[in-house]
Amino acid sequence: MGQINIILIGPPGSGKGTQATRICDRYHVPMISTGDILRAAVKAGSPLGRQVQATMAAGALVSDELMIDLVRERLEEPDTANGFILDGFPRTLAQALVLDDMLAGRPCPHAIAFMVPEAELERRLTSRRICSKCKTLYTTGTIYGSEEELCSKCGATLITRDDDNLETIRQRLLTYRNTAEPIIAHYRGRSALAMIDGSRPPDAVTEDVTRYLDAAGRTPR
Ligand code: AP5
């Protein structure tokens, strides 16, 4: 298979990170999560982190200018030669248009949009826990024998993301509602979009994602 460029779109909690982690090995491409990059910067207290901390805590979007620079730099890394999975970018039409320019000369990206009802998104995000060490995702109430909330893989403590409180979750959902449609329309217009029901169990979602990407990867360009 040649270069494959994948874009994951979807509201907070729709499973973008979960699916990106599952499929990056299959296509031998790096997962680029803009949210993870920003959270690492906040944790490190870097100038970027200090710049974006309040915006993220409010559930709003970081400026296009900053995000575009960040992604442009990341896509110039040699590990993206076979392609990439972008999780969380583009998030505005402006970002999508600049991404088109950045990808000039590369195969057209395949966009996947996950659809999940908001009540389910709220349930997932209010109960999401993340391993502080290996970053495995959990939903509280489903961790076997782990009342103290320890990671069943590496034993480290599970933490809650700063923006996973109900008020910020609702703001993030509103931000998505206000910005997503033009991006989805952009990729639909280029026949490079799959809409996938993300409310089903993760394995069923992964099956649909890989079926779409496998078929798309075989399409002659
Ligand atoms: P970001 O980190 O991208 O967060 P998000 O879009 O809010 O998405 P999440 O990471 O919360 O959810 P997800 O869809 O990855 O779901 P997950 O797999 O974790 O962005 C954070 C912030 O950064 C933004 O608010 C913004 O401020 C800023 N930012 C980032 N990119 C930006 C950009 N391009 N422009 C401007 N600002 C930007 O799953 C959620 C939970 O559900 C987990 O517990 C998981 O185990 C569970 N789960 C997953 N799939 C299933 C399933 N099928 N069934 C049941 N449970 C499931």
For residue 220, how far is its CA from the centre of ligand 1 (angstroms)?
32
Query: What's the burial of 180, exposed, middle or buried (CB within 10 Å: 0-12/13-18/19+)?
Result: middle
**What average pLDDT does this structure show over 148-174?**
93
pLDDT of residue 218: 56
Q: Mind telling me the catalytic residues?
A: 16, 91, 128, 161, 172
Mean pLDDT score, 109-120? 97
User: 32, 74 in Cβ contact below 8 A?
Assistant: yes
Looking at every residue in the chain, the average pLDDT score rounds to: 93
Candidates 7, 16, 160: which one to mutate for ligand 1, based on the most atoms within 8 Å of Cβ?
16
| Protein residue with its CA nearest to atom 34 in ligand 1 | 89
Ligand 1 neighbourhood includes 129 CB (under 6 angstroms)? no
With bands split at pLDDT 50, 70 and 90, how would you rate the model's confidence at 221?
Answer: very low
pLDDT per position as a tens digit, 43-75: 999 999 999 999 999 999 999 999 999 999 999
Nearest CA, atom 12, ligand 1: 13
- Is 56 touching ligand 1 by the criterion CB < 6 Å? yes
Counting Cβ atoms within 10 Å, is residue 65 exposed (0-12), middle (13-18) or buried (19+)?
A: exposed
13 lines ligand 1 (CB under 6 A): yes
C-alpha 221 – ligand 1 centre gap (Å): 31
Reply yes or no on whether the pLDDT at 103 is more than 50.
yes
Residues 23, 24, 28, 30, Cα dihedral to 10°: 160
Return the residue whose CA atom lies nearest to atom 1 of ligand 1: 35
Please tell me the distance between residue 147's alpha carbon and the centre of ligand 1 in angstroms.
25
For residue 155, is pLDDT > 90?
Answer: yes
- pTM given for the model: 0.94
How many whole angstroms separate alpha carbon 67 and alpha carbon 64? 5
User: Is residue 144 scored above 60 in pLDDT?
Assistant: no
Does residue 219 carry a pLDDT above 90? no
Atom of ligand 1 nearest to the CA of 92: 35
Lowest mean pLDDT among 59-63, 165-169, 189-193, 217-221: 217-221
